[in-house]
Amino acid sequence: MPKNELDFLAQRNRRRFLREVGGGIGMMGLTHLLGLEGRAGADGGPLAPKQPHFPGKAKNVIFMFMEGAPSQMDLFDPKPGLVKWSGKPLPESLTSQLRLAFISKDAKVLASPRVFKPHGQSGIEFSDYIPNIASCADDLCLVRSMHTEAFNHHPGQLLLFTGSIQFGRPTMGAWSVYGLGSESQNLPGFVVLTSGVGTSGGASNFSSGFLPSHYQGTLFRNQGDPILYLSNPEGVSAGTQRMALDAIRDMNQARLDETGDTEIASRIESYELAYRMQQAAPELADLSNEPAHIREMYGIDDPMTKQFGTNCLLARRLVERGVRFVLMMHASWDQHTYLNRELKKNCDRTDKPTAALIKDLKQRGMLDDTLIVWGGEFGRTPMVEIRNTQDPENAGRDHHPLAYSMFLAGGGIKGGTVVGKTDDIGFNIEEDKVHVHDLQATILHCLGFDHTRLTYKHMGRDFRLTDVAGNVVKKMLA
């Protein structure tokens, strides 16, 4: 047996051990809920930092999930070819196997009114709706050849985040923390930020599935308590809270002495961590000490960009403090109607803060080990969707899983590159197809994992994020 396989087995045994500790089956206590100094890795509990399969370029991930499916041919994938087809239905040879949510197969083609220009040294073309993202061109890897199977939102989101359209599997963030643990001693390892309206997937986009619930995403709010139940109850002072915590600790300790159940030691540790979280999270959420130029950069004082900009700035601050996986969900990009108006609105809200996050991470030297992923669950059709024939502004686009765009930046990613090519009308992919499973495999690769070996046994078999597929996309890698 080759040496790396032996290592792998050893590691898997260790994982199994951690799992049993973490699962709280009652056999062992979570004596050390989070890895404490000097104990990182070996047996420090389910969230202790762990070594990946090989050194990964990225330590953290910020997944900017643009829920609803942004229109790729109006943002990332210029298709002058559409003009030729504009107003005509596509040939049946293209559409015979097509599944569409709302429109029919003979819907007419809609050319994009957007103006595309090359940007940066790399000369990647972006639309005029996203000038700020475009200004990061040389740091981005733009994938124009994404594809997926699902053509409805919730199944599409399940596939993107869990690798399967069936319910119950762990999400990407949960897998990441399961694999790597958390670097933070006083914040959760997987944090979720939301903006806009509710998403189709809701909590299923950050569920731990069949992994222990430690790995579930923690919703972090940009108003009120950043973490649920973080503040002391109304009327309870800090002194009273500490007094209560001390008594809880002492009496738990007494019970530990009496019963010998090490699970109580973990409970004591949980309460200490909760207390530290109470101190750390408000500091994290307090943006008042950010300098004016940074606030300006993210646009947090401009009503248009305030919500998303605040989340972007929070994402940076979370990663700075060792949070492993930040999922930002912005909804909704589901422009079935009023494409021009609504797409612009979304871009105006998110373009500037997105670019600010990339540039800010870069200027702090954090982009090298932070992986940024931007995109939705599928793309939009080259054909028009019209729900109101009497309003010409009403035109939009339906769901299109066969070809769409996403971009990545940072840890392990080759900036200034374009991967993949679609046909003249952006209907099919002509080169370098990247399936959602390939994207997942590549993200895990950047974190240092062989996606086929990051597994968890459940219902009698080993499961993984990429189901039974996925290939690392080498062209995306630095």
Partner 1 sequence: MRTLIVFCLAPFALSAAPPDFEKDVWPIFRKRCYACHNATLKQNGLRLDDGASALEGGYSGPVILPGKSAESKLIARVITEKAEERMPKMGAPLSPAEIATLRAWIDAGADWPRKAAAAVAKPVHWAFQPVKRPTPPRVKSETWVRNDIDRFVLARLEKEGIATSGEAEKTTLIRRLSFDLTGLPPTPAEVRAFLEDARPDAYERLVDRLLESPRYGERWARHWLDLARYADSDGYEKDNERPIAWRWRDWVIEALNRDMPFDRFTVEQLAGDLLPDPAAPQLIATGFQRNTLTNREGGTDPKESRFEQLVNRTNTAGTVWLGLTVGCAQCHDHKYDPISQKEYYSLFAYFDRSDEVDIEAPLPGETGPHLRQLAAYRESREHLIDIFNIKPLQRAWEKQMMFTLDHPGANIEWDFAIANTRPMFDRFEATLRTPPGQRSAHDEDRLMRWYIRSPGPDDSRDPDFMNSLREFRRRLAGIDEKLPSITRAPAMMELPDPPRTRLAVKGDYREAGIPVDPGTLAVLPPLPEGAPRNRLTFARWLVSKENPLTARVTMNRLWQELFGRGLVLTSEDFGTQGEAPTHPELLDWLASEFMERGWSLKQMLRAMVTSATYRQSSHARPDLKDIDPGNTLLARQSRVRLPAESVRDAALTASGLLNDTIGGPSVKPPQPEGIAELVYSGSAKWKADEGPGRYRRGLYVHFQRTAPYPMLMNFDAPDSNVACSRRRRSNSPLQALNLLNDPVFYEAAQAFAYRLITTTPPERRVDDAFLHTVSRLPSPKERERMMRLLDDQASALATQPAEAARLLPVKPDEAAWVTAARVLLNLDEFITRE
Binding mask 433-472 for partner 1 (x = CB under 8 A): --------------------------xxx------xx---
Judged by CB under 8 A, the residue of 224, 303, 365, 392 near partner 1 is 224
Which 36-95 residues touch partner 1, going by CB under 8 A? none
Q: Could you tell me the two tokens for 430?
A: 């002509």
Question: Both ends of the chain: CA-CA distance in Å?
Answer: 31
Binding of residue 263 to partner 1 (CB under 8 A): yes
Of 34 and 358, nearer to partner 1 (C-beta) is 34
**Part of the chain binding partner 1 (CB under 8 A), chosen from 262-270, 296-304, 420-428, 432-440:** 262-270
Smallest distance, partner 1 to C-beta of residue 140, A = 30
Q: Could you tell me the two tokens for 224?
A: 């009120």
Of 21 and 358, nearer to partner 1 (C-beta) is 21
Of 11 and 232, nearer to partner 1 (C-beta) is 232
Task: Round to whole Å and give the CA distance between 354 and 356.
Answer: 5
* H or E, element range at 173: helix 172-180
Which 227-256 residues touch partner 1, going by CB under 8 A? 227-237, 239-241, 243-245, 247-248, 250-252, 254-255
Smallest distance, partner 1 to C-beta of residue 418, A = 28
Of 152 and 455, nearer to partner 1 (C-beta) is 152
**Part of the chain binding partner 1 (CB under 8 A), chosen from 127-135, 147-155, 172-180, 404-412:** 147-155
Binding mask 367-396 for partner 1 (x = CB under 8 A): ------------------xxxxxx------
Q: Could you tell me the two tokens for 392?
A: 């010409």
Binding of residue 346 to partner 1 (CB under 8 A): no
Which 269-298 residues touch partner 1, going by CB under 8 A? 270-271, 273-274, 277-278
DSSP 378-412: SEEEEEEE-S-TT-GGG-EEEEE-SSEEEEEEETT
Smallest distance, partner 1 to C-beta of residue 71, A = 17
C-alpha pair distances (Å), 401 with each of 9, 155, 420, 435:
38, 12, 15, 10
Task: Round to whole Å and give the CA distance between 220 and 173.
Answer: 14
Smallest distance, partner 1 to C-beta of residue 127, A = 26
**Part of the chain binding partner 1 (CB under 8 A), chosen from 134-142, 215-223, 283-291, 411-419:** 215-223
Judged by CB under 8 A, the residue of 258, 291, 292, 303 near partner 1 is 258
**Part of the chain binding partner 1 (CB under 8 A), chosen from 25-33, 172-180, 368-376, 422-430:** 25-33
Task: Round to whole Å and give the CA distance between 115 and 159.
Answer: 32
302 burial class (0-12, 13-18, 19+ CB within 10 angstroms)? middle
Smallest distance, partner 1 to C-beta of residue 424, A = 24
Which 313-342 residues touch partner 1, going by CB under 8 A? 331-332
Q: Who contacts 404 (Cβ-Cβ below 8 Å, separation ≥6)?
A: 69, 72, 146, 147, 148, 375, 376, 378, 379, 380
Q: What's the sign of the alpha-carbon dihedral 237, 243, 244, 249?
A: positive
Smallest distance, partner 1 to C-beta of residue 407, A = 25
CA angle, corner 409, sides to 41 and 329, nearest 5?
80
Q: Could you tell me the two tokens for 180?
A: 């790597």
User: Where would I find the beta strands (DSSP E) of 123-162?
Assistant: 124-127, 140-147
Task: Round to whole Å and give the CA distance between 367 and 76.
Answer: 22
Binding of residue 198 to partner 1 (CB under 8 A): yes
Of 74 and 398, nearer to partner 1 (C-beta) is 398
Number of residues forming the site for partner 1 (CB under 8 A): 101
Asked if residue 108 lies in contact with residue 425, where contact means CB atoms within 8 angstroms, the answer is no
